[in-house]
């Protein structure tokens, strides 16, 4: 499902951010030069990739001057040599911009278990570094350079008064908390508490998407403030939440081979934790995902997923399906589409055929579930699962 969109702002709209990127067959390299406070959230996979280990250490100071990212090779499960190669990547950029290597964020994405070719990285670096500038075009070059199986580049940004919040992300398969097979970099020129904001944002955005239940070795989300301007921090936090919500939905919509974006809204749960468990069970269900691909309003699969989610449920629940077109402004908020009631007070409404028609006609399908137990609510975003996912992932290294 390739989304068509035009972002109001890009990462180079943020004062103090310059970048470049090169992409060739087999991978790419992206560079960002920025000077500001930073914080990060990373994969919970026990086999953390070398760049994740290095970057976690570098971010302890909470301040960076640059970012270097390669695609095509994850530099994961590569031992001590992998750590040395990640450090060498940091040194490449640090030497050029005149800072310590500890002030550089390093990321990699691609095939696991293969040593990084530093000469290849150096060659890409020599092509990318001279092109660094603050043009809009370069923000898209950077976004493109970090992709792997992505079918489109992912970038979104907004203005808040005189300030800008903008970010780029990559990700398509191996998407599940915590976080996804994803890299995301969000920038703002507003003075903010990056460390205080980032975990709240991740929980409600990148940790609320699922494609296939796999958690990558390389997941990284970096939030950077160049601190050039003053702005209402609450408004900036809301803007960061929005930008990350849009990027997260782009990743879910680009689930390898996906043709439908799915939003699962649960309300009326005992509490928010149970609402999230219920929504995640539905969004992660292979049977629900394949029914979505076939535009089959088989609500029995949703009920089954709710039943094994291990949350308190009232049997007289409600289940609606909403169909709509994708709009960035609706990310995680719900579209303003056509609704069909499938279950009302625990009873089948007999509208499966109408709901299936609705599913065929729209690129976004939402399941709205009221458990009628309490006030808990949550939203999890996912996608359908079809033949192309199997094809892409069965041929990934061949």
Q: Is 168 helix (H, G, I), strand (E, B) or coil?
A: strand
Catalytic residue check, 217 = no
Q: Are 249 and 59 in contact (CB under 8 A)?
A: no
Question: Cα angle vertex 101, ends 100, 103, to 5°?
Answer: 75
- Identify the active-site residue in 148, 181, 188, 210: 181
Q: How far is CA 357 from CA 178, 263, 294, 342, in A?
A: 34, 18, 11, 13
User: For helices 286-293 and 299-308, what crossing angle results, to 10°?
Assistant: 160
Q: How far apart are CA 366 and CA 75, in angstroms?
A: 37
Contact 75, 69 (CB under 8 A): no
Determine the Cα–Cα distance for residues 5 and 11; give it in Å rounded to an integer. Answer: 16
Q: Which residue has the tokens 């109408």?
A: 354
- Determine phi and psi for 312, rounding to 5 degrees: -75, 130
First to last CA, the chain: 24
Q: For residue 26, how many other CB atoms are within 10 A of its CB?
A: 12
| DSSP code string of 33-48 | EEEEEEEEEE---SS-
Measure the CA dihedral 192/193/194/198, to 10°.
Answer: -110
Helix, strand, coil percentages for the chain (3-state, nearest 5): 35, 30, 35
Q: Which stretches of the chain are DSSP H helices? A: 50-58, 79-97, 118-128, 136-145, 194-204, 233-253, 272-284, 286-293, 299-308, 352-361, 387-394
The residues that are catalytic are 181
């Amino acid at each position: 499902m390739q989304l068509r969109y035009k972002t109001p702002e890009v990462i180079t709209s943020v004062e103090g951010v310059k970048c470049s990127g090169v992409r060739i067959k087999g991978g790419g390299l992206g560079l960002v030069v920025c000077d500001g406070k930073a914080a990060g959230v990373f994969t919970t996979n026990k086999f953390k990739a070398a760049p994740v280990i290095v970057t976690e250490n570098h971010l302890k100071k909470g301040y960076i001057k640059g970012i270097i990212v390669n695609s095509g090779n994850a530099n994961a499960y590569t031992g001590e040599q992998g750590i040395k190669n990640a450090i060498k990547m940091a040194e490449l950029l640090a030497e050029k911009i005149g800072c310590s290597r500890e002030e550089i964020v390093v990321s990699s994405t691609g095939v696991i278990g293969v040593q990084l070719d530093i000469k290849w990285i150096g060659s890409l670096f020599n092509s990318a570094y001279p092109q660094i500038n603050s043009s809009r075009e370069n923000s898209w070059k950077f976004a493109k350079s970090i992709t792997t199986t992505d079918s489109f580049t992912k970038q979104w940004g907004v203005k808040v008064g005189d300030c800008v919040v903008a970010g780029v992300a990559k990700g398509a398969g191996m998407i599940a908390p915590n976080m996804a097979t994803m890299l995301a970099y969000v920038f703002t020129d507003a003075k903010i508490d990056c460390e205080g904001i980032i975990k709240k944002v991740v929980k409600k955005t990148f940790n609320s998407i699922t494609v296939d239940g796999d958690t990558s070795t390389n997941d990284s989300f970096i939030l950077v403030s160049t601190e050039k301007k003053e702005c209402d921090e609450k408004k900036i936090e809301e803007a960061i939440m929005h930008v990350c919500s849009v990027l997260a939905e782009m990743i879910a919509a680009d689930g390898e081979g996906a043709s439908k974006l799915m939003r699962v809204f649960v309300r009326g749960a005992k509490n928010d934790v149970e609402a999230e468990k219920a929504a995640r069970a539905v969004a992660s269900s292979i049977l629900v995902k394949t029914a979505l691909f076939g535009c089959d309003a088989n609500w029995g699969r949703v009920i089954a997923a709710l039943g094994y989610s291990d949350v308190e449920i009232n049997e007289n629940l409600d289940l609606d399906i909403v169909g709509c077109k994708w709009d960035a402004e609706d990310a995680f908020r719900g579209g303003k589409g056509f609704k069909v009631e499938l279950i009302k007070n625990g009873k089948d409404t007999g509208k499966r055929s109408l709901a299936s028609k609705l599913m065929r006609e729209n690129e976004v399908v939402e399941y709205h579930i009221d458990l009628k137990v309490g006030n808990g609510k949550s939203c999890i975003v996912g996608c359908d699962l079809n033949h192309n996912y199997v094809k892409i992932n069965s041929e990934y290294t061949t």
